[in-house]
Structure 1
């Protein structure tokens, strides 16, 4: 894939990504189909395009995805201010859209210099929040709070996509962003990071609290395995200096039941952080590229 765009001009040469999406069709609608076949599979090609941020278009789409990224704790942050910071930093990161630039983003990625912007309200809130949440996880407590207080230039990576968006759109977004960071460093812009702090989401399946008068709790049930909303996170964390989950401050005991989605187990979302040294980010991106390419 060619370079997404030049840093000197607006996004006119954005590169489309053609990604096959499977659409199921009821076989009974075709009289000539084999009766033993339950359904056919049609391949629909969808062009996902990457664009620079446009302050006239992208505010609401980015804010919606940020609200999804921070889940129950989204209300703790100035998401409007954070969205403005992201869309005005339009030479770094991308939106991913279908059917042209004028639509809302289906996915986005960006990196913000936490030291450079630490006096601004949205970043000050996130520094305090991420430091405190990291202290609740022993795998994060020894590195993240100290690093965020050290004055080093840490790149905060924020990335989210709509549910059911294919993971294949993410590696190109990472690769283009790394290229843009390198170009920015050459231009003496403040993107020479020592580390990247990636914020994401995970979840556990938990036993529902509903219908317990009818259904007995399973005794000795093993602790639920960590699940990833973004499958590439499982691979990327292998390259992290530190990684781990944390509970949301505003989580509600009934949230897991509301997200049961017609199954016995509920879903308990958790925040997730990965701290990656700058000299290892290229290998991490290559790893998720290979991982996503083989995932089914």
Structure 2
């Protein structure tokens, strides 16, 4: 079945242009654009390049460490689990995707083995995520690796239906004796810190030293705001630096404010018994955040 679910969402971006706007029309209602977002099963003839692009965004500076072509093929092959979200037509590229891979089944495909080794290594370097490596190595655990990302301008309201739909699909797959009966879900996402340029940082260090203060730990921000809510249901969670982190920082925001953006990876380990509650929590969070 191609079309899985449709959901009409208003475009609420306050930067939407108004035609023929002038000072005399400042009190007029802003134009609203209604967009139909639809969920689809993966299609091998359509989705390869779109999924690969979103995977490259998800893994950011470390994307080249993985065979993203093989990973895209693997996601598309299990087309009854997870969804793409598109606008207008199934033939278009995905604006968002969500899937879960069984990374505990043997033998592992090379790209899956790469991901497991990478996430295990990253988790051991952070105090809040060390349990991830233990679970990935445990013979008693069956881990579902959740991969998801979306274009930055996608409204968060389209995301809860994708998660709910995937839960239904997992339940149906388990009834059909397919290998999706997980003990844990490992969600891979992205986060970031806002940072000053190197010159700005040096100047701030001098100012703090003069005041007798030390460096402040920057606040973790989320590319996907619902991750902050889902994190509350995790047995382990935390951000990690990319292997190819370097010193580069996205400066696009500096046109509007002083700070740039330093991306990081982010992972959450959720026990299977709490997974549905986590999905319900982000649905409630997204719904309440959308209220005027």
What TM-score does the superposition give when structure 2 sets the normalisation length? 0.90
2:190 alignment partner in structure 1: 201
2:138 alignment partner in structure 1: 150
**For 1:63-82, what aligned pairs fall within 5 Å after superposition?**
63-82=52-71
The reply to whether residue 126 of structure 1 matches residue 115 of structure 2 is yes
1:84 alignment partner in structure 2: 73
CA distance in 2, matches of 1:62, 1:259: 26
Q: Give, in angstroms, the shift of residue 222 of structure 1.
A: 3.1
The reply to whether residue 282 of structure 1 matches residue 276 of structure 2 is yes
CA distance in 2, matches of 1:211, 1:231: 28
CA distance in 1, matches of 2:242, 2:72: 21
Q: Provide the secondary structure at the position in 1 that maps to 2:198.
A: coil
CA distance in 2, matches of 1:208, 1:240: 33
Q: Give, in angstroms, the shift of residue 153 of structure 1.
A: 1.2
CA deviations 1:102-158 (Å, max 9, x no partner) are: 0000000000000126521110000000000001101111x1111111132100000
2:219 alignment partner in structure 1: 225
1:180 alignment partner in structure 2: 169
Q: Give, in angstroms, the shift of residue 264 of structure 1.
A: 1.2
Return the match for 2:154 from 158, 165, 170.
Answer: 165
The reply to whether residue 15 of structure 1 matches residue 5 of structure 2 is yes
Structure 1 residues without counterparts, runs of 5 or longer: 1-9
The reply to whether residue 293 of structure 1 matches residue 282 of structure 2 is no
Closer/same/farther in 2, CA of residues 246 and 39 from structure 1, 3 Å limit: farther
Q: Provide the secondary structure at the position in 1 that maps to 2:229.
A: helix
1:3 alignment partner in structure 2: none
Matched residue pairs, number?
A: 281
Closer/same/farther in 2, CA of residues 259 and 120 from structure 1, 3 Å limit: farther
Q: Give, in angstroms, the shift of residue 34 of structure 1.
A: 3.5
CA distance in 2, matches of 1:250, 1:39: 49
Closer/same/farther in 2, CA of residues 83 and 211 from structure 1, 3 Å limit: same
1:270 alignment partner in structure 2: 264
**For 1:228-247, what aligned pairs fall within 5 Å after superposition?**
228-247=222-241
1:5 alignment partner in structure 2: none
Structure 2 residues without counterparts, runs of 5 or longer: none
CA distance in 1, matches of 2:107, 2:30: 51
What TM-score does the superposition give when structure 1 sets the normalisation length? 0.89
Closer/same/farther in 2, CA of residues 136 and 261 from structure 1, 3 Å limit: farther
Question: C-alpha root-mean-square deviation of aligned residues, in Å?
Answer: 2.1
CA distance in 2, matches of 1:154, 1:126: 12
The reply to whether residue 139 of structure 1 matches residue 131 of structure 2 is no
CA distance in 2, matches of 1:196, 1:261: 39
Moved over 6 A (4+): none
Q: Give, in angstroms, the shift of residue 263 of structure 1.
A: 2.5
Alignment check: 8 A CA contact 2:18 2:31 kept? no
Out of 196-205 and 257-266, give the one that drifted further. 257-266
CA distance in 1, matches of 2:41, 2:111: 21
